[in-house]
């Protein structure tokens, strides 16, 4: 199985800061890309899909760079409630989703 | 979106025993999946549970160790057989999220298994 690599962190940032995570994937044929959020001892939940043109949802912006095979997630104006692990997810073929190990974010007061 | 109920939420088991995890969805879904998340690791797909036929297993996972049932479009079970401490993990049931596009999944709350 192809790899999805993430910096595990933790990223410690103060409230209100802007933080960005990158994720690289090795399979150039990958078709779909997502960011999931996983709170401590909880199941992963979809944060946003990542489109080729980039997309924004409130304070969250996701971008895809196919040439360099990475996706990014930018969080503006960080809130305490943003503290979680962010999972990069790539679809290689069919229904097989390839998960990264996650990047841990801690937003402090 | 579908609501997934998984049970047990957690269990502590003895080496050599087997545990069956149940996954109930509040609506009919075509695709149901079983994932494993070992401590500090990424989620790994164990198998796709197919209604009315044998499950499709990913590389490294076999039916004898992880038998799966899928009797209808709302229910599936995963059994972890002849457990060893290496099977200690979170096991997650998931289904494709309706209307959100292909490959978007929603997960059950997971079953946290500890094998002594």
CA dihedral of residues B16, B4, A94, A91 (deg, nearest 10): -90
Contacts of B112 in chain A (CB under 8 A): 41
Q: Do A99 and B92 touch (CB under 8 A)?
A: no
- Cβ burial, residue A74 (10 Å; 0-12/13-18/19+): middle
Average pLDDT, chain B: 92
- Alpha-carbon radius of gyration of chain B: 13
CA dihedral of residues A49, B103, A43, B41 (deg, nearest 10): -90
Q: Which pLDDT belongs to residue B102? A: 63
Closest residue on chain A to B59 (Cα): A1
Q: Which residues of chain B have pLDDT under 70?
A: 98-102
Instruction: Tell me the C-alpha distance between A86 and B10, whole Å.
Output: 23
Instruction: Tell me the C-alpha distance between A77 and B63, whole Å.
Output: 47
B41 in reach of chain A (CB within 8 A): yes
* Average of per-residue pLDDT across A20-44: 92
Q: Which pLDDT belongs to residue B25? A: 95
Q: Which pLDDT belongs to residue B82? A: 97
Whether A104 shows a pLDDT value over 80: the answer reads: yes
Q: Do A32 and B103 touch (CB under 8 A)?
A: yes
């Amino acid at each position: 199985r192809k790899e999805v690599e993430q910096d595990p962190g933790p990223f410690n940032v103060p409230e209100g800061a802007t933080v960005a995570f990158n994720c690289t994937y090795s399979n150039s044929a990958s078709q779909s890309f997502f960011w999931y959020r996983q709170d401590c001892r909880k199941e992963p939940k979809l944060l946003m899909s990542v489109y080729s043109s980039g997309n924004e949802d409130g304070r969250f912006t996701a971008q895809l760079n196919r040439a360099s095979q990475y996706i990014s997630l930018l969080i503006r104006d960080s809130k305490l409630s943003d503290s979680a692990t962010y999972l990069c997810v790539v679809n290689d073929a069919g229904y097989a989703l390839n998960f990264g190990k996650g990047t841990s974010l801690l937003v402090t007061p | 979106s579908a609501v997934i109920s998984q049970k047990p939420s957690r269990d502590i088991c003895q080496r050599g025993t087997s545990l069956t995890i149940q996954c109930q969805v509040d609506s009919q879904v075509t695709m149901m999946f079983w994932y494993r998340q070992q401590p500090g690791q990424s989620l790994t797909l164990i198998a796709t549970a197919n209604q009315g036929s044998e499950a499709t297993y990913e590389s490294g996972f076999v039916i004898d160790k992880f038998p799966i049932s899928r009797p209808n479009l709302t229910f599936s079970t995963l059994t972890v057989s002849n457990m060893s401490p290496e099977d200690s993990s979170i096991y997650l049931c998931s289904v494709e999220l309706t209307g959100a596009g292909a490959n978007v999944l929603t997960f059950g709350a997971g079953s946290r298994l500890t094998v002594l």
